[in-house]
Amino acid sequence: MTARIGVVTFPGSLDDRDALRAANAVGAQAVSLWHKDPSLHDVDAVVLPGGFSYGDYLRCGAISRFSPVMETVISAARDGLPVLGICNGFQVLCEAHLLPGALTRNSHLHFRCKDQALRIENNRTAWTSGYDLGARVVIPVKNGEGLYVADAHTLDALEAEGRIVARYIEGSPNGSMRDIAGVTNEAGNVVGLMPHPEHAIDPLTGPSADGLAFFTSVLKSLVAA
């Protein structure tokens, strides 16, 4: 019996099929979840994929956060369900207050798609346990609003508690505060990440296979549990 990883499709989700492919690639059972359906269909972990849910017209993630499925995801996450928010999913997690801070317009004001070098800063979360601490990975980043902001007190706390999951290295793609690419909650089950590990699972279609370990990590933690 393998673990079931659910991927939510909101109207305007774009990388949902990629996230499902990544879950399948590591041997999990990928399950498609629908934004209007509050049931999580017995999944063991949830991915909120990239995209422009509801067109991001009000504020990135602001409307999705109120969808029926998110009500369930929010309470399950508080009970320890592993949740990974990628790009737009990260924005949804911030809007849902499962993660601190917010994501705002890139400092250069452009959408930017780039093969980005990252350093894994925390390998104790449900989604990063398969990485070596300090590992350098190359994973695509692609967004217009990926500049992570939080007040100084929050940033200091994140640093002190080791809750910065990944940092941009070799040049920031968006001007994020303290080069933050991803953060986790206190329990380590909820991770938000601007780069797209689901686009780095096979060198045929991405810059590397460095992203695969996000999915193997959660699978391993679930099977072990």
Partner 1 sequence: MSIDSVSNAEATPDVDLPFAELGLKDDEYGRIREILGRRPTSCELAMYSVMWSEHCSYKSSRKHLRQFGEKVPPQAREILLVGMGENAGVVDIGQGYAVTFKAESHNHPSYVEPYQGAATGVGGIVRDILTMGARPVGVMDSLRFGPADAPDTHRVLPGVVAGIGGYGNCLGLPNVGGEVAFDPSYYGNPLVNALSVGVMRTDGIKLATAPGPGNKVILFGARTGGDGIGGASVLASATFEAEGERKRPAVQVGDPFAEKVLIECCLEIFAEDLVAGIQDLGAAGLSCATSELASAGTGGMRVVLDTVPLRDPTLAPEEILMSESQERMCAIVEPAKVQRFMEICAKWDVTATVIGEVTDSGRLQIFWRDELVVDVPPRTVAHEGPVYDRPIARPADLDALNADDASALARPSSAPELRETLLRLVSSPNLADKSWVTDQYDRYVLGNTALAMPDDAGVIRVDETTNLGIALALDGNGRYTRLDPYAGAQLALAEAYRNVAASGARPVAITDCLNFGSPEDPEVMWQFTEAIRGIADGCFTLGIPVTGGNVSFYNQTGSTPINPTPVVGVLGVIDDVARRLSIGFKADGDEIYLLGETHDEFGGSEWAHVVHAHLGGRPPAVDLAAEQRLAGLLVEAAARRALASAHDISDGGLAQALVESCLRGGVGAAVTLAGDPFVALFSESSARAVVSVSKADAEGFSQLASQHGVALTRLGVVGGSELEVAGQFAVPLADLRAASTGVFPAIFG
107 phi, psi to nearest 5 deg? -60, -30
87 tagged catalytic: yes
Catalytic residue list contains 108: no
Q: Does 17 bind partner 1 (CB under 8 A)?
A: yes
Task: Rank residues 16 and 121 by Cβ distance to partner 1 and give the closer one.
Answer: 16
**Beta strand ranges found along the chain (DSSP E):** 4-9, 29-34, 45-48, 83-86, 102-104, 112-120, 136-143, 147-149, 164-168, 180-184, 190-193
Q: Quote the least distance from Cβ 196 to partner 1, whole Å.
A: 7
List the catalytic residue out of 95, 121, 145, 198. 198
Restricting to residues 122-141, name those near partner 1 by CB under 8 A: 140
**CB of 26 vs partner 1, minimal distance in Å:** 14
Segment interacting with partner 1 (CB under 8 A) among 39-47, 105-113, 156-164, 175-183: 105-113
Inter-residue contact 16 to 32 (CB < 8 Å): yes
| CB distance 105 to 56 below 8 Å | no
Report the residue from 65, 119, 163, 196 that binds partner 1 according to the rule CB under 8 A.
Answer: 196
Which string of b and e fits 148-163 if b means at least 16 CB within 10 Å? bebeeeebeebeeeeb
Interacting residues with partner 1 (CB under 8 A)? 11-12, 14-15, 17-18, 21, 50-52, 54-57, 110-114, 140, 142, 144, 196, 198-199, 204-206
What positions carry a catalytic annotation? 87, 196, 198
